Structure 1
C-alpha cells in the first residue's frame, strides 16, 4: 500500500489484524470524505463485532511474547516506527488536511506531538524493583514489581486523530502491551490505518498492533466492553465516555478517559489587552475550535471588556478560511454536517437569549466563520455547552471572585487559562479554577510530554504523558519471600 496512492483514492479497503490486511467479515465499507469538498476520496472497511473479537484475540495471543521481548528489542521497533513516521511527515500532513480539514499549522503541530509521543515512549521503563522488610514477620522480604497490564484498547477521535492515538499506542508498545485501535469513522486512515501500515512495514510481531475501522454505533460497545483488554483509552465526548466507562467496568477493564471541556479564559483588568485578545483568538479558533482544550468562554473584567471584544473581533476577522489541501489558510472546514448543525444552533440560541453577534455566525458549506459573541452570560447556549467550533463567547465580570465562580460553573474541568500581569494574583486564580490544566498568560491548547494531561469532574479519568501514562499501563505485583523459618501458631 502506498500512502500517496491512498490519498489519491485507492487501497485503504482492508484493516490490519494479526499481522495481515483483511477484509471486514461483513464485506461492507465506509466512505472517507474530504470535508472541504464533501467528496469521498477513499473507502475503508466497516468492521463487525466479529472483527473486533478477532483483533482482541490476536492481541491476547501476542501479549505473552511481546511482554517477554527485551526492552531494547521493543525500543528498536518503536524507534524504527518513529524514523518511518518522520520519513512520511509530508504525506501525513497532507492526509490530515484532506481527511480532517487541518490547516497546515495545526497539521504540522500534530505531527510534532505524534513524534514526541514516540520519543517519550523510548525513555519509558518500569520503576526499579523495590524491596521492603516485612512489617510483621522476621526474615521476610517484600518485592514490589511492575508489569505490563496486557492488551490495551484505543478508541481515538477525529480532531487530532494521529496524536490522540499514539499518545496511548507508543507508550503501550514500549512498555510491553499489545494494542487494538479503533479510530474515528471520520478519520480512519490518519487515526489508524496509516499507523497500521507503519507497524506492518517496521515488522512488529503479528498481533502486537491491530487496527479495526468502523462505525462506533456498531462496534463501539464491543471495543469498550470486550473481556480481553485490561485498559481502554478513550478520547471523546463525556456522553460517549460514560458509556465506554460503563462497558469497560462490566469487564473490570480500567477506563482511561479524556472527555469534554468548557474551557474558561479569565482576563483581568491589568493585562495588556491586545496581547490577551491575540492569545484568546488562538485559543478559540485553532483547528476551527474543534479542540477539547480550546477556550470555550472568555471571562473578562468589565474595565477592559469593550476593548477586549473589539480586539478579539479584529483578530477573528483577520483569519483566512479555505481548503487546506489547496491553499495556505488559517482555518479549514468543520469535520461534518452534524458539527455544523450543532454549532449553528448554539450561536443562534445565544443570540435569541440576548447575546450580540460581533462578527461571523455564517457558514458556506462546512466552512463556519470565526464568530465573536458579546454580552454573553454563563447560561447561554454557546457558553454552557461545549460548542466545539470557532465561536468565542465573551462574558463580563466585575471581580476575581466572580470570574472564578463563573469559570467553575460547569460540569467540566479539562483546561483553562488566565491572563493576568500580577504573578501572585494569576497563580491564586489558577489555584482556584477547577481544572486539570491551567495555563497562565498563554492559551490552553497545550500538550507537552513532561506534564500530566487530563481533566477533573466530568472531563475524564487518568492522565497521559511520561510517568503518568506509565501508571495507566503498568500494574504492581507483590512477591514476598520468607527467608527464615517462622512460627505459624496454628500448627506450632
Structure 2
C-alpha cells in the first residue's frame, strides 16, 4: 500500500494484522461500490477464520506492553491520531461520500463527532488510577485499581462507519486495551482500514489495533464468539445484535450493544410549527434516514396535523437529491438494493393499509425519493418497523396521554424528541417516553462525545460516549495490603 495516503482512491486491498498490511493472496476478494454511481471504488480481502485468530493472537500479545506504557505516551498517540483527522479531513469527507453515500452535511457531522470522540478519549489514558481506602481489618489498606479489560472487539455498521468505529476504538486504545475491528462489508475503508492507517501513522505499536475485513456470514461468528475477546462493542440491528451478544456471552465477554430504534417525534398543539417542521425535515431525511436515531414516526396533535403534513411534504419535495460529491445535494443514495427494496415495500404496504402518499414513494436506482405518508397509524408497516429510509409516516393524536402511549408502543427505546411551547410540559412528556435519549424542541439525531449514548428495551445494552464508554472498556481490581500482622480467631 502507498505510504501515508488517506484517499479513497488509494489501494486498500489488504488486511491489517500485527502492524502488517496483509495482501489478499489466495483469499476471495470483496468489491466495494460507490452507491451513487455503482462504480467499483476498491477491493478488499475476504478475511478468513484463520485471519481472525491471527488478529486476536496479535492483540493478546501486544496488549500488556501497551497498557504498561506511561499514560502520557498512550495519550500522545491518541492526540496524534486527532491531528491526522484534522490534516486529512477533506480526504475523509470524500471517502464517506464515495463509499457510504454521505452528503456533505452528514459527512462533516460524522467527521466532527469522531474528532470530538478522539479528544474526549485522550483523557482516558490518565484515568487508570488507584484509589486507596481504609479497611475494617486493623492494619490493612485497600487499593482499587482501574485496569483495561484486555482485548476489545469492535463490529461497526455501514451507515456512520467512521464515527461508530472511532467511538469504540479510540477509548479502548486510550485505556490500554488492544482492539480487533471488523468493519461492515459495504464500508471497509471508512469503517476500518482508514482507522488502521491513522493509528499506524500516529505511532500505535504493532498488534494493538487489527482490522479484518470480510463478510459477516463468513467470519462474524468467529469474531463475535472468539475466546480472547473481553468486550464486544457492536452497533447494528437488534436481530444481529442479539446473536452477537449471545456469542460473546458464551465466553463472558461484556456486550456493549447499540441496536435498532423506532424513534417517535411528538409535536403538541402549542408547539412552534415552523421550528417543529425544521427539526422534522433534518431528523427524517439526513443521510436518507439511514440512522438508528432518525425520526421513524411523527406523532402530531390533531389540531396541527393537516398543516404539519402539508409543510413537511412541501419541504421533502424541495430537497436536492443526487450524487453526494455535489455539495448542493442533501439526499444521496441508499446503501444497496436490499435496503432500498425493504423500505419501498414498507411504503407500499402502508399505502395498501390505508395511508395516503403525500409525496415520494418512488426511486431512481438507489436514490429513494423523500417520502411523506399521512393518515398513518402505529401498526402500519412504515411505522411499526424500523424503516431506515427517507420515510416520514405522520400519525395524529388527540391528547398527551395518547401521544405517550403511541410513542411507547414499540419494542425499541433508543431515541425520541418532543416539540412543545411549554418546556415543563415537554419535560414531563420526555420523562414518560421509554427511551435512552430524549431531546426537547429538537430532533433525535444527536451525539456528543461527553454525553452517554444508548437505549432501553430492544435498543441495546450499555452505553457509548461519556464516562460510560471508559467503564465499558475497563474494570476494577482490588488489592489489599496487610501492613501489620493480622490476628485470626483460629
Same fold (TM over 0.5): yes
Residue 165 (structure 1) aligns with? 165
| CA offsets 1:320-346 (integer angstroms, 9 cap, x no match) | 000112452011000000100100110
Q: In the aligned structure 2, how far is the partner of 1:385 from the partner of 1:405?
A: 17
Q: In the aligned structure 2, how far is the partner of 1:73 from the partner of 1:16?
A: 22
Alpha-carbon offset, residue 127 of structure 1: 6.0
| 1:162 match: secondary structure | helix
The answer to whether the Cα contact below 8 Å between 2:7 and 2:91 also exists between their aligned partners in 1 is: no
Q: Confirm or deny that 1:27 pairs with 2:27.
A: yes
| 2:8 match: secondary structure | helix
The answer to whether the Cα contact below 8 Å between 1:59 and 1:210 also exists between their aligned partners in 2 is: yes
Q: In the aligned structure 2, how far is the partner of 1:251 from the partner of 1:127?
A: 25
Alpha-carbon offset, residue 251 of structure 1: 0.8
Q: In the aligned structure 2, how far is the partner of 1:67 from the partner of 1:79?
A: 17
Residue 324 (structure 1) aligns with? 324
| 2:256 match: secondary structure | strand
The answer to whether the Cα contact below 8 Å between 1:97 and 1:104 also exists between their aligned partners in 2 is: yes
The answer to whether the Cα contact below 8 Å between 1:25 and 1:51 also exists between their aligned partners in 2 is: no
- Structure-1-length-normalised TM-score: 0.97
Residue 432 (structure 2) aligns with? 432
User: Map of 1:351-390 to 2, 5 A cutoff?
Assistant: 351-390=351-390
Q: In the aligned structure 2, how far is the partner of 1:180 from the partner of 1:165?
A: 11
| CA offsets 1:219-245 (integer angstroms, 9 cap, x no match) | 111111001111010000000000000
The answer to whether the Cα contact below 8 Å between 1:358 and 1:373 also exists between their aligned partners in 2 is: yes
Q: Confirm or deny that 1:132 pairs with 2:127.
A: no
| CA offsets 1:119-154 (integer angstroms, 9 cap, x no match) | 10112232642222223x222222111101111110
Alpha-carbon offset, residue 421 of structure 1: 1.0
Q: In the aligned structure 2, how far is the partner of 1:25 from the partner of 1:484?
A: 63
Q: In the aligned structure 1, how far is the partner of 2:6 from the partner of 2:417?
A: 42
Which shifted more, 78-87 or 194-203? 194-203
The answer to whether the Cα contact below 8 Å between 1:5 and 1:11 also exists between their aligned partners in 2 is: no
| 2:239 match: secondary structure | helix
Residue 217 (structure 1) aligns with? 217
Q: Confirm or deny that 1:253 pairs with 2:253.
A: yes
Q: In the aligned structure 1, how far is the partner of 2:451 from the partner of 2:82?
A: 21
- Let me know the Cα RMSD of the aligned residues: 1.3
* Residue ranges of structure 1 left out of the alignment (5+ in a row): none
Residue 88 (structure 2) aligns with? 88
Q: In the aligned structure 1, how far is the partner of 2:319 from the partner of 2:98?
A: 20
Q: In the aligned structure 1, how far is the partner of 2:79 from the partner of 2:424?
A: 43
The answer to whether the Cα contact below 8 Å between 2:103 and 2:324 also exists between their aligned partners in 1 is: yes
Residue 466 (structure 1) aligns with? 466
Q: In the aligned structure 1, how far is the partner of 2:437 from the partner of 2:35?
A: 31
The answer to whether the Cα contact below 8 Å between 2:245 and 2:255 also exists between their aligned partners in 1 is: yes
Q: In the aligned structure 2, how far is the partner of 1:4 from the partner of 1:180?
A: 22
The answer to whether the Cα contact below 8 Å between 1:126 and 1:147 also exists between their aligned partners in 2 is: no
The answer to whether the Cα contact below 8 Å between 2:7 and 2:92 also exists between their aligned partners in 1 is: no
* Residue ranges of structure 2 left out of the alignment (5+ in a row): none
The answer to whether the Cα contact below 8 Å between 1:14 and 1:44 also exists between their aligned partners in 2 is: yes
- Structure-2-length-normalised TM-score: 0.97
Q: In the aligned structure 2, how far is the partner of 1:117 from the partner of 1:21?
A: 26
Residue 43 (structure 1) aligns with? 43
The answer to whether the Cα contact below 8 Å between 1:224 and 1:232 also exists between their aligned partners in 2 is: yes
Q: In the aligned structure 1, how far is the partner of 2:86 from the partner of 2:14?
A: 24
| CA offsets 1:431-452 (integer angstroms, 9 cap, x no match) | 0000000000001100011211
Q: In the aligned structure 1, how far is the partner of 2:448 from the partner of 2:274?
A: 26
